[in-house]
């Protein structure tokens, strides 16, 4: 970015759009005793370099303490965290999606950190990132970082196809991707179950995943608008070789892109770090642009979300666990993270950390059309049951779109009604 305004705008925009996602607080008396702590980070949240630097810094500042940072897969994480919270051997700190905090807090296994808000400078948090972690006035989830998806592209393949500027409309995007999908390359790598991307296409058409009716919720994948969004997804997905029955983690899409024959993928900007780690020769060859919308006047709709940090009640070292949370949510790590991963920091005052990043600039522009998943507290159960993923695979493998959407919508309605 060439000015400070876009970065600040990104933070403010995400503050307004990020939403949707029992317990004694750790004591603050005395200095916590040294211990070995187990910390769960999600796959592809951070590069190995960022993780290793944090571990080294924390252990240096807390003599005798060691961190066992374990990387978790998103697929199936809901049940894994729920089981951990109910066990006697839970991790000490867990990264969770912001849409998941309400689900975990309801289990009674998450520490209430409300009395730590001032110590963590909570008055400076992005409101939209902090709100999902606050359940009935209690802060269970500490906001960590925010992001939305962009298109990461291979500059050399674009140039070879004669494409000099990234597309700004859906029609141009399809046309360019068709050009790229030639000569042995994949125009785009888009797995069949990337439902966050589908959500954006549905929102662009004026539809939604579910809608509130009175005090209840109804699945809405069977509306004409949602079906149009699924149709566009199918058109785009067909211009690559992405699997129709798995998501972006299976196989890791960064590894696929790193082979050098994929022109585009859809990811948070930080995904570029995983690509370069897998293939250093691509360093300097990656570009970013916002997901195109139906018209050039605004980018395509995107899901804007982020991650929170929670401390399980079953942690045997809650005071030290809080020190980990404080360090991860603190200014030093937030600035390092923003520079390395192009994520939006958790504080409004740290927005300048995004200045100068091409990926962050694309993300900031995309955030102007950001949306959240349905605000039902039971939405996490829809995600956990893979309802939308299975619907997408059914359509992409030849099923009748209208029939599949009707079945999926009925399932969503049932889940939201049952769990509400």
DSSP-derived letter for residue 241 is -
Does one domain contain both 119 and 51? yes
Does one domain contain both 190 and 287? yes
Tell me the C-alpha distance between 282 and 161, whole Å: 18
Q: Give the per-residue pLDDT at 52.
A: 96
Q: How many structural domains compose the chain?
A: 2
pLDDT for 224-254, tens place per residue? Answer: 999 999 999 999 999 999 999 999 999 999 9
Report in angstroms the alpha-carbon separations of 361 from 1, 119, 157, 275, 294.
Answer: 6, 31, 22, 19, 20
Does one domain contain both 180 and 265? yes
Does one domain contain both 156 and 144? no
Residue 320 CB contacts under 8 Å (≥ 6 apart), including other chains: 32, 33, 34, 35, 37, 62, 65, 92
Tell me the C-alpha distance between 290 and 308, whole Å: 25
Q: Report residue 24's pLDDT band, with 50, 70 and 90 as the boundaries.
A: very low
Does one domain contain both 158 and 132? no
Q: Report residue 26's pLDDT band, with 50, 70 and 90 as the boundaries.
A: low
pLDDT for 189-216, tens place per residue? Answer: 999 999 999 999 999 999 999 999 988 9
Identify which of 17-21, 327-331, 342-346 has the greatest average pLDDT: 327-331
Tell me the C-alpha distance between 294 and 298, whole Å: 8
Q: Give the per-residue pLDDT at 25.
A: 52
Does one domain contain both 411 and 274? yes
Does one domain contain both 105 and 86? yes
Indicate the SS3 state at residue 210: strand
Mean pLDDT of 386-413: 98
Does one domain contain both 103 and 206? no
User: Are residues 207 and 180 in contact, defined by beta-carbon separation less than 8 angstroms?
Assistant: no
Report in angstroms the alpha-carbon separations of 99 from 40, 54, 415, 417.
Answer: 17, 25, 16, 18
Tell me the C-alpha distance between 48 and 55, whole Å: 11
Does one domain contain both 339 and 264? no
Nearest to 307, CA basis, from 145, 107, 141: 145
Q: Give the per-residue pLDDT at 123.
A: 94
Does one domain contain both 237 and 192? yes
Record the tokens describing residue 109, joined without a space: 């296994």
Does one domain contain both 271 and 136? no
Q: Report residue 30's pLDDT band, with 50, 70 and 90 as the boundaries.
A: low
| Average model confidence (pLDDT) across the chain | 89
CATH of the domain at 399: 3.40.190.10
- Domain ranges, residue 38: 5-148+303-371
Q: Give the per-residue pLDDT at 371.
A: 84
Stated pTM of the model: 0.72
HSE of 238 in the Cβ direction (CA atoms, 13 Å)? 13
Does one domain contain both 260 and 397? yes
């Amino acid at each position: 970015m060439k000015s400070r305004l876009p970065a600040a705008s990104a933070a403010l925009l995400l503050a307004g759009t990020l939403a949707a996602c029992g317990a004694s607080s750790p004591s603050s008396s005395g200095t916590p005793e040294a211990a070995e702590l187990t910390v769960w980070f999600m796959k592809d949240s951070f590069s190995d370099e960022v993780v290793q630097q944090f571990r080294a810094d924390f252990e240096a500042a807390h003599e005798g303490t060691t961190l066992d940072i374990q990387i978790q897969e998103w697929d199936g994480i809901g049940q894994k965290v729920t089981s951990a919270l109910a066990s006697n051997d839970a991790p000490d700190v867990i990264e969770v999606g912001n849409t998941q905090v309400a689900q975990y807090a309801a289990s009674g296994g998450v520490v209430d950190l409300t009395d730590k808000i001032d110590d963590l400078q909570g008055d400076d948090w992005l409101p939209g990132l902090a709100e999902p972690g606050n359940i009935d006035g209690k802060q269970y989830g500490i906001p960590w970082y925010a992001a939305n998806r962009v298109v990461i592209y291979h500059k050399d393949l674009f140039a070879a196809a004669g494409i000099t500027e990234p597309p700004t409309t859906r029609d141009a995007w399809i046309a360019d991707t068709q050009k790229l999908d030639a000569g042995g390359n994949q125009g785009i790598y888009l797995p069949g179950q990337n439902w966050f991307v589908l959500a954006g296409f549905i929102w662009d058409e004026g539809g939604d995943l579910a809608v509130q009716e009175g005090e209840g919720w109804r699945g809405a994948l069977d509306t004409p608008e949602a079906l149009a969004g699924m149709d566009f997804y199918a058109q785009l997905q067909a211009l690559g070789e992405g699997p129709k029955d798995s998501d972006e983690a299976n196989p890791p899409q960064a590894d696929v892109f790193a082979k050098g024959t994929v022109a585009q993928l859809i990811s948070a900007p930080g995904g570029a770090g995983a690509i370069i780690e897998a293939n250093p020769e691509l360093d300097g060859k990656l570009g970013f642009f916002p997901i195109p919308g139906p018209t050039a006047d605004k980018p395509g709709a995107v899901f804007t979300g982020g991650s929170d940090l929670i401390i399980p009640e079953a942690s045997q070292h809650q005071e030290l666990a809080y020190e980990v949370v404080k360090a991860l949510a603190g200014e030093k790590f937030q600035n390092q993270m923003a520079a390395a991963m192009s994520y939006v920091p958790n504080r409004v005052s740290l927005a300048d950390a995004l200045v100068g990043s091409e990926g962050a600039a694309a993300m900031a522009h995309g955030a102007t059309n950001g949306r959240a998943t349905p605000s039902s507290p039971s939405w996490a159960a829809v995600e956990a049951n893979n309802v939308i993923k299975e619907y997408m695979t059914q359509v992409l493998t030849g099923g009748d779109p209208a029939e599949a959407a009707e079945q999926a919508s009925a399932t969503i309605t049932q889940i939201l009604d049952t769990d509400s």
